[in-house]
Amino acid sequence: MLITVNRGPGAAAGGQDGLMILDGDARMRWFLPTTDTPFDLQCQFYKGGQVLSWWEGTVTNGTGSGEAVLADMSLNEVARLGEIDGLNPDLHELTLTPEGTALMTAYHTEPADLSSVGGPKAGYLLASAAIEVDVATGKLVRRWESTDHVPISATYQKFSGGTEKQPFDYFHINSVAVATDGNLIISSRNTWAIYKVERTSGDVMWRLNGKASDFTMGTGTNFYWQHHARPHGNGIFSVFDDGAAPDEEPLSRGLVLNVDENNMTCQLERSVSHPGVLAVAEGSVQLLSDGGMLVGFGAEPYFSRFSSTGEILVDGHLPKAVTSYRAFAANFATTPAGKPAVAVSAGHESHVVYVSWNGATEVVAWRVLAGPKPGELSSSTTTEWADFETAVPVNNAGPYFQVVALDGAGRELGSSDLVNVG
């Protein structure tokens, strides 16, 4: 499971922002502390291979200014995208396409007439942009601007600010994805709408929900302050319905919608929620191959796996005031370029070997070698991988020790440096 860890107000002292990989039993396999705030850790495909991707930067009033990062399965950085066409990538989205491009969000301030929402005629708004960038060259492919296609009056956001220092955020773009026909699906939190956008011209092809919906919305399909809109083919869409800030619903929901583009109707396929959880922002919905869903509850510190019938199978909870933005499950394997880290607590005739290998997702067991000389080591014990750091009691005087990482088939993945406790 892929999670970004973000500390909020009131988080435990000494906490650390960073990127985290958990295995199927919710045990941590990798943690990368970050100086800048991280968001949106995912496993995606780039140039035919799997990569990890994320955003890191500074966050101000719910929007970000930073860089998009790609790393290979050895956890080595392979690409970093910074300022593009005068815009700094925002935290909300980083989607890689088969064409080798990255779809991202960005924000910028521009003057605007805000009288339609009760603001000044000569005011300022926070414009939302969807940008597509060639990853290899860092060059802009295309740029879509909310202000060119969606009127300010479409917002549900209560007016505030409207100044150059505090521009009015009428749209708040928070996801961009590729539809099955190659066009774009864009989510706007503050207009409660999902837009299908013609990829080349930028024209809005349809609006789902919001003040000017082109669809007849069936019972239970309306959403509020939503995030993470994703198309899945055959008219199926998933979306995280926050439902809050201010509250419009009692609980946040993971939604699966059936969107009929011929008859222009929207019907509810499925809806899941977590008892007592109402998120004011963020969140994600991932449809799983077994028919279930993985839902990240964003600003609330929960991530839950639901069965195809809506039963909670896995219920994860982060520490108080720590959030994850999105949560994803993926099949991948990482093997760091470095070596396992080892420390030995020396006794008289026995010792305890402590071993970890940050980011090695395939380690199933540790084999401890011990001996009187560097060239005279033999297998002393083998124990299962137990946690991020595994403690291994060894009834061997050593004084030389080395640890070998083994996968599920007993193959060696890597060896630690030799440790002398003599």
3-state secondary structure labels for all residues of 190-250 = HHCEEEEECCCCCCEEEEECCCCCCCEECCCCCCCCCEEEEECCCCEEEEEECCCCCCCCC
DSSP 385: -
Q: Which residues contact 411 (CB under 8 A, 6 or more apart)?
A: none
Instruction: Read off φ and ψ for residue 373, nearest 5 degrees.
Output: -140, 160
Query: For residue 375, which phi and psi values (nearest 5 degrees)?
Result: -90, 10
| Predicted local distance difference test score (pLDDT) of residue 398 | 86
What domains can you pick out in the chain, each with its CATH number?
A: 2-328 (2.120.10.30), 341-420 (2.60.40.10)
User: Which pLDDT value is given to residue 397?
Assistant: 86
Residues 97, 178 contacting (CB under 8 angstroms): yes
The string of pLDDT tens digits covering residues 143-168 is 999 999 999 999 999 999 999 999 99
Mean pLDDT of the chain, nearest integer: 95
pLDDT > 90? residue 8: no
Tokens of 321: 């005031």
pLDDT in tens, 357-396: 999 999 999 999 999 999 999 999 999 999 999 999 999 8
Least confident range of 101-105, 240-244, 314-318: 314-318
The pLDDT tens digits for 201-237 are: 999 999 999 999 999 999 999 999 999 999 999 999 9
**pLDDT above 80 for 13:** no
Task: Encode pLDDT of 34-44 as tens digits.
Answer: 999 999 999 99
**Each residue's pLDDT tens digit, 325-342:** 999 999 999 999 999 999
Cα distance between residue 227 and residue 229, in whole Å: 6
Alpha-carbon 125 to chain mean position: 27
What sign for the dihedral angle of Cα 304, 188, 185, 208?
A: positive
pLDDT of residue 6: 86
**Long-range own/partner contacts, residues 249-255 (CB < 8 A, 24 or more apart):** 249/224, 249/278, 250/278, 251/275, 251/276, 251/277, 251/278, 252/277, 252/278, 252/279, 252/283, 252/297, 252/298, 252/300, 253/223, 254/285, 254/293, 254/295, 254/306, 255/221, 255/223, 255/285
Q: Identify which has the larger pLDDT, 42 or 348.
A: 42
Where residue 243 falls (left for φ over 0; alpha for ψ -120 to 50; beta otherwise) is left
What percent of the chain is predicted at pLDDT more than 90?
92
pLDDT at 26: 87
Say which residue, 9 or 397, is predicted with more confidence: 397
pLDDT at site 14:
64
Instruction: Answer for the pair 31, 75: CB distance below 8 angstroms, yes or no.
Output: no
